[in-house]
Amino acid sequence: MQHLAGLNPKQKEAAIHTKGPLLIVAGAGAGKTKTITHRIVNLIKNGVAPERILAVTFTNKAAKEMRERIREAILRYGSLWEQDCEPFVSTFHSLGVYIIKENARILGLTKYFTILDEQDSTSLIKEALKELGFDPKQYDSRKIKNIISREKGKFTNLADYQQRANDAGEDGFGMFAKIVAQVWTLYEKKKSKENSLDFDDLLLKATKLLKENEEIRKFYQAKWEYIHIDEYQDTNEVQYLMSRLLAENNKNICVVGDADQNIYSFRGANLKNILSFEKNYPDAKIVLLEENYRSSQNILSAANEIIKKNKYRPEKNLFTKNQVGEKISVYKALDENDEADFVARKILGIVSGREDILERTLGRSGDDGQRKFSAENFRGESENIFSGVAILYRANFQSRALEEAMLRYNIPYQVLGVKFFERKEIKDTLAYLRAALNPESLSDIKRIINFPARGIGKVTLAKIFAGEKSSLPIKIKIKVDNFYKTLEEIKEKIENAKPSEVIKFTVKKSGIENELSAGTEEDMERLENIKELATLALKYDHFENSLGIEKLLEDAALASDQDSITINQEKKEKKDAVKLMTVHAAKGLEFKYVFITGLEDGLFPHERSSAPTFAEGFDEAQEEERRLFYVAVTRAKEKLFLSFANFRTIFGARVMNAPSEFISDIPAELLEGESGKNKIKTIYI
């Protein structure tokens, strides 16, 4: 049993379970990835063929980590590892793509279907609105996109929604539902014509296929005898149904999750899925992981007190063998600028360790003679002194004052959350690749046919899309033919060259390289980002034929908020920088020092959480806000700082605030006040 060494009793209990349904309730920092990895290794060591095992996560990052851990563990414990014979580890959306590609013909798709990102989907819906005679300024295309997405997440078919819209009456809601139904109908037709699917289709169509086609369902049930679902509390209705359909024959389903960390209801996550697991699987074994390996006991004691006020949760109490740790600091700020100033100065105190070092390293800056901190002066005192610090906030607008403070004190920082694959130059390059493989993708053609500029206008584009290319003037027709010839050459390159070479060829052949290299400094930066895309493509070079580019396009389309940041940020990630992010973006991460800012009533908990959403006084939105705060608190390993402001400027108005009720949920003996006197003094000459 060497492969189970290092597990605590509860982790081991979960790892050695082999038959029937299993629910692992894993508290924050309780080693759930380690547990599920050892469970998979144990199955293989006990004779289960690796290819019979499926593990599904929510992010590519988590899937990659799990895949690497499984490989490392199997190699370490002496089993033979065959690359073509391994567990299938993927995200839900990647699993959907896999099932759809294997059954593309049944769904009326070609192998090279395009996956639309959020922006492309919204643009297509905006086009549908215009074609139907509706004003996009009056009817928000993004709102309609979100409604369609939410309905698909509930496993709602278009026909069912149309019926509901027809039954809704003629009031404001009913009329809007009818408009959404019309737009949705045209939107689906446009996607079908383009041989494309949106993000939600990847789950909806794969699950619909499993539900309605018995032969296909039995094939995948036989293919994957053991099913593992990570972060089960975050599953929506369609993900829940997909999991049940795959597991309904063997019932060997293991789900891992924590009801206390359900914070994505706005994305359709249904808390009832994990709370109803025992009802859905009466023979299920339940294992509770309560030992935390991340945080100090004081932080965990606070977290336990915070979350126990929620009614709808399985009872658990986190504990640790770590030290008791420091008390939790609370700072009452005058306003958001004072709060940001406190955070910045406190960070300087943390990284210096000694105030005398800090004072010696302050450098001259500004007309007022105020001395300003220089991060470089600390190099040599300690490496990676900033990367263990995170500043969390409830809403994105809060970052402005915090960023200004980081700049004012010259503290290196990084704002997380912007996707590399959403940069214009990256989307343009990938659009050339998608259009080369799928010339029916009108969205991609529209995006790139006149970039770089070719003198092809909207009228010409409309004629091309209407199949009237032959009616174009000869000069324009030559330009259009040359564009499509470029796509053919790119496709030929895709089929015969490595992905990294394909990127270089595409940028040169399309004219993008020439366009950007002759432009501004910003254009040169864009070109650098495309070159970084070619570097990224190196990891796909081992695939044969067009498979490498297909996989690159798939990964780019499926990159989640937690998987992808801007290329400049990826470079900074290797450096030493304080991390700024929303609490939602922090889930799954951990830091030595954590600042939770903006703890004011109406901001955190957010004012949108004030209305009851269930009968009998149960306020689900309020409980989710409490879970969100619980997630924020449990990101901290050694020291936690809480802050709130008496006044905060929101939408140009200075608002007076009351402290968040969440602060008073923490026992007084776990807290210590931070006063202005404790702040590092500003030094003048």
Query: Which residues are known catalytic residues?
Result: 32-33, 230-231, 261, 635
Supply the Cα-derived Rg of the chain in whole angstroms: 27
> Which contacts qualify for 269-272: CB closer than 8 Å, 24 or more apart?
269/233, 269/234, 269/235, 269/236, 270/235, 270/236, 270/237, 270/240, 271/233, 271/312, 271/620
In the chain, the N- to C-terminal Cα span, in Å, equals: 67
| Residue 18 identity | T
The answer to whether 418 and 426 are in contact (CB under 8 A) is no
Read off the DSSP letter of residue 202: H
In angstroms, rounded to a whole number, what is the distance separating the alpha carbons of residues 107 and 112? 13
Residues contacting 600, CB < 8 A, separation 6+? 644, 645, 648, 657, 658, 659, 660
Q: List Cα–Cα distances, 481 to 401, 416, 455, 476, 511, in angstroms.
A: 52, 42, 13, 9, 16
Helix (H, G, I), strand (E, B) or coil at 643: strand
Burial grade of 455 (CB within 10 A; 0-12, 13-18, 19 or more): exposed
At which residue do the structure tokens 């639309």 appear? Answer: 116
Tokens of 231: 């972060």
Q: How many helices (H) and strands (E) does the chain have?
A: 29, 19
Query: CA angle 304-306-310, nearest 5°?
Result: 100
The answer to whether 583 and 392 are in contact (CB under 8 A) is yes
> Sign (positive/negative) of CA torsion 109, 113, 115, 120?
negative
| Residue 61 identity | K
Residues contacting 436, CB < 8 A, separation 6+? 487, 488, 490, 491, 494
Read off the DSSP letter of residue 128: H
Of 602, 607, 670, whose CA–CA distance to 636 is shortest?
670
Residues contacting 402, CB < 8 A, separation 6+? 340, 343, 391, 393, 580, 597
In angstroms, rounded to a whole number, what is the distance separating the alpha carbons of residues 158 and 162? 6
Tokens of 99: 């099932």
Burial grade of 496 (CB within 10 A; 0-12, 13-18, 19 or more): exposed
The answer to whether 620 and 415 are in contact (CB under 8 A) is no
